[in-house]
Structure 1
Amino acid sequence: MIYNKDKKYSEKPLSGAQNYINHIKCDLSLPENIIICPVSMLTKIVQNNYKNKFYRLDGDIYILEKHNCAFVTNFGMGSPAFAMMMEVLVALGCKNFFLIGIAGALQKDIKTAEIVLCEKALRDEGVSANYIAPGDAFSFPSKTLNKKLENVFKQEKRSFSHGPTWTTDALFRETVSEVLFYQKQGIVTVEMEAAAAFAIAEHHKVDLSAAFVISDSLASLKWEPAFGHKDIDKNMHILLDCCIKAFK
């Protein structure tokens, strides 16, 4: 029998990220603004294009010295890994987050390397119920940060789409029946972190927005990968730059 988790989100944990920070005697000082990316494909871009100070704390942390933010990556993929990293960042005083990364397309009109701003996330993962009530099918981003990022896209004349995402724990268990079901609901993308990220942000009363670059597609009911396409790297850099500008 599994413990009833209906109200777990409101219960006090035995430990927490602040206890962990105290245990490892971490005194790292970070800016309040964080760009967090589960995939490490932007590492070289950050190292080569932005003056930074590097730290290793459960992930790679680059404080961007000429900008009011830090970039965090290389901590693992999926909602559990993301939750651990974000908990540590919140414990260190970070308050505003842009989650960026790659996602699969579920709709045929969403093209390779397209930037998609996430409007809400379907909670088909195991982390979010630990942070917010399990009854709602979706978790939601910060309206304020979504608007700031959208404004930068428009000011920079960057094309983008927007819509809901499906967050899954099982990358290799996406099925035809699921894709058809979510296509009918208007779900635009599939990825592995957003639903948990929004829930953690809501629980801790911090702000988080998410945007993705399309790396593959399930829209035709078969997997069509485009990893390595030059426009994916290009638009990931554009997305990073737009997030930096949105924090100014």
Structure 2
Amino acid sequence: MSSWMKFNLMNSASPIMEQLIMFHDHTMIIILFITISVMMMMSLLLTNKFSSRNILENQILESLWTMIPAIMLMFIALPSLKILYIMEELINPSITVKIMGHQWYWTYEYSDKKNIEIESYMLNKPKKNEFRLLEVSNRMILPFMTQTRLIVSSSDVIHSWTIQSLGVKMDAIPGRLNQSSIMLNKPGVFFGQCSEICGMNHSFMPISLESINMKSFIKWMKTNN
């Protein structure tokens, strides 16, 4: 059972990732239908079942195999456009976090109520129960069930702030502010890594986000004042 689970996507921790998983499954059903249809047609061609003149010169059949792929593309395009629109939509975010990429660490700035800035480096010697190459000195802390706006940029080269289970991948470009939004739907710790080749220590630039309740988040804000 555990080996089969490795073929699936990561468990979602945000509504956006849930929509992306549903779109993946929807698209795979269409691809499976296309693959089976093409294999059946190839097998019939190899057995000379399509050698009839009525089939080779059938105008209705030619119209159908021109229209059906276009209809299938519409079934793929419409859900894709809906998800793209949802990912770009920002509706009254409660928290704004500015994420800056450096060589080779991240800084997180909370400037809504109090100016809090933390630096997040990879731990060279993680503890016994911590993950190697994923644990950081300071995690990014966010409350779950709260709309959060992310402003992503870089101070040196191009980075990419990515957490797979949240469905977020935003490039950090020097001199440019990119914007994204997330809403965590459960507590936990979620890991990611820089997904842009940013130099020698690119593979040692992990991301760690901890999701907590709002009461604990307010307490954390007060202690980091």
For the aligned pair, the TM-score class normalised by the smaller chain equals under 0.3
- The TM-score normalised by the length of structure 1 is 0.25
Which one has more relative contact order, counting CA pairs under 8 Å at least 6 apart? 1
Q: TM-score, normalised by structure 2?
A: 0.26
